[in-house]
Amino acid sequence: MNFLSLAFLAFFIASFVIYWNLPQRLRVGFLILASLFYYGFYSPAFLAHFVLVILINFLIAQKLAAGRSRPLVIAAVSLNILHLAFFKYFNSAIALLLPPGTANPETLKVVMPLAISFYTFQFISFQVDTYRGQVEKPEAARFALYMLFFPHLISGPILRSSDFYRAVGNPVASREMQTRGLYLICLGLVKKLFIADVLGYLINSVYKSPGDYGSTDALLAILGYSAQIYCDFSGFIDLARGMAKLFGYDMPNNFRSPYFSTSFSELWTRWHITLSVFIREYIYFALGGNRVSQPRQYFNLMVAMVLSGIWHGETINFLIWGALHGIYLTLEKLVKLGKTPANRYTWALRNLWVITGWSFAFVFFRAPDLATALAVISQVFVLKSAALTVWLVLLLIAATWLVQYLEHRRENLLQLVLPRAAWVLPVMLLVIYFLISRIQIPSEAFIYVQF
């Protein structure tokens, strides 16, 4: 069920009403059942597979809590990585390895289970945290909801034991928390429907046929996609966090105005924060982090970022995307780029460096193959009259920066909204509904659902 579908709206409202009318002792069990239904709605086969993986990881975590065995945690992490690698890369591998004419690769394809990339990282972090003694003996119901909780299940945020596990069974029932949840839902809908989807509608044609467009269109498509993916993904996270708050649970923020960054090291503390933390703590630090020689630090950065790219997808495009970020971070270390710009002119130049490098790297993320990515970039140097609606794309890109500024000032805005929530939020939802009914742009699937 897509978060934006009527079926999901009915499911969510029913779940919310039933949940808060149940005794406290039954609420965790109900949320588990609701989450099982939500995931199983996509595919009963995926659900059976996911439940089996949850059970295996739960049994391993219990053993780790009892004995904290290093070989066992290595086996647990390896098992989860191999499980992910099989589903994510089997189809590409079989197409390469099968001799021509021996079999049709299409008949041997496996279907990747929904959200496998996200829940694999969550399993790994839980096993490592248990091994480190940060989790007491796991409890079955708590662990199940930690993995299954439907608002975050499909596209994150990636939860750690300290983020959510310990809170399971102890929801916070307060009007302020639910008001904050509704505010986040409104914000997520605006980002997704009125910025991300409209941008996608305008720029998708450039990625489909880059040769038909010139420099202005190519630049708008490149900058437009970085704005689109931010509003799409952060919009999803806002919806997920908002729904969690309505159930009394808090989930970590995954974005912190990333496009105001002045270095890539800063940007990765503001973009997809839960993934960045995972990469830093479970990959970069495991390789030695900054506690090694400088050449080894650069190697560690490259490995961590390339693995981040490969996690997103098996094609050469994602590998290049990850490698580019490794190069950006390494270059900043080589020139000893300071954390704080000296003045506003330096801030502007450094921010321009980040936005340009980030946006051009995202061409490889967005394009379906390497040839298309290179074609889009090459069109930047082809002079043609603009075919896109330039003013509208620029307006939506500007709106992306405005949204981030408002997010930075979120607490100030909430202090205005909270005392007036009884009428402000219903009016906001009515305005959003009216705009949805008037804007005839097809809604696109959330981008990160595919991962």
Evaluate the CA torsion angle 194, 180, 2, 50 in order and state its sign.
positive
The pLDDT tens digits for 274-297 are 999 888 888 888 888 888 888 898
Instruction: Tell me which residue has tokens 């190697």.
Output: 299
152 is an active site residue: no
Same domain? For 151 and 190 the reply is no
pLDDT at 103 over 60: no
**pLDDT band, residue 267 (cuts 50/70/90):** very high
Same domain? For 76 and 113 the reply is yes
Same domain? For 220 and 167 the reply is no
Residues in Cβ contact with 374 at an 8 Å cutoff, skipping those fewer than 6 apart: none
Q: What is the DSSP code string of 324-350?
A: HHHHHHHHHHHTT--SS-SSHHHHHHH
Total domains, the chain: 2
DSSP-H helix ranges across 98-156: 116-131, 140-148, 150-153
pLDDT at 434 over 80: no
Same domain? For 248 and 184 the reply is yes
Q: Domain boundary residue among 171, 198, 228?
A: 171
Give residue 442's domain range: 176-262+341-450
Residues in Cβ contact with 438 at an 8 Å cutoff, skipping those fewer than 6 apart: none
Asked, for residue 286, whether it belongs to a domain, the answer is no
Residues in Cβ contact with 239 at an 8 Å cutoff, skipping those fewer than 6 apart: 3, 151, 184, 185, 188, 189, 192
Same domain? For 244 and 366 the reply is yes
> Is residue 367 left, alpha or beta, with left meaning phi > 0 and alpha meaning psi from -120 to 50?
beta
Same domain? For 50 and 164 the reply is yes
Q: Domain boundary residue among 155, 171, 187?
A: 171
SS3 state at 278: helix
Same domain? For 15 and 144 the reply is yes
What are the distances in angstroms from CA 12 to CA 89, 169, 199, 255, 287? 34, 19, 28, 24, 42
The pLDDT tens digits for 150-175 are 998 887 788 888 778 888 888 888 88
Q: What is the mean pLDDT of residues 378-384?
A: 91
Asked, for residue 296, whether it belongs to a domain, the answer is no
Contact 163, 134 (CB under 8 A): no
SS3 state at 293: coil
Same domain? For 77 and 205 the reply is no
Asked, for residue 129, whether it belongs to a domain, the answer is yes
Same domain? For 138 and 209 the reply is no
| pLDDT at 107 (0 to 100) | 62
Asked, for residue 353, whether it belongs to a domain, the answer is yes
| pLDDT at 315 (0 to 100) | 84
Q: Give the span between the Cα atoms of 386 and 327, in whole angstroms.
A: 32
Same domain? For 121 and 140 the reply is yes
Q: Across all residues in the chain, what is the average pLDDT? A: 88
Q: Which two tokens stand for residue 332?
A: 């900043």
Asked, for residue 305, whether it belongs to a domain, the answer is no
Contact 178, 382 (CB under 8 A): no
Q: Kindly name the residue from 83, 312, 325, 408 that is annotated as catalytic.
A: 312
Q: Which two tokens stand for residue 388?
A: 């896109």
Same domain? For 222 and 247 the reply is yes
| pLDDT at 56 (0 to 100) | 95
Q: Which two tokens stand for residue 355?
A: 């936005």
pLDDT at 210 over 90: yes
**pLDDT band, residue 104 (cuts 50/70/90):** low
Asked, for residue 291, whether it belongs to a domain, the answer is no
Contact 114, 43 (CB under 8 A): yes
Read off the amino acid at residue 69.
S
Q: Give the span between the Cα atoms of 248 and 28, in whole angstroms.
A: 12
Q: Domain boundary residue among 171, 195, 218?
A: 171
Q: What is the mean pLDDT of residues 83-105?
A: 73
Least reliable range by pLDDT among 191-200, 246-255, 390-399, 424-433: 424-433
**pLDDT band, residue 396 (cuts 50/70/90):** very high
Asked, for residue 282, whether it belongs to a domain, the answer is no
Instruction: Tell me which residue has tokens 């008037």.
Output: 438
Contact 180, 71 (CB under 8 A): no
Same domain? For 239 and 166 the reply is no
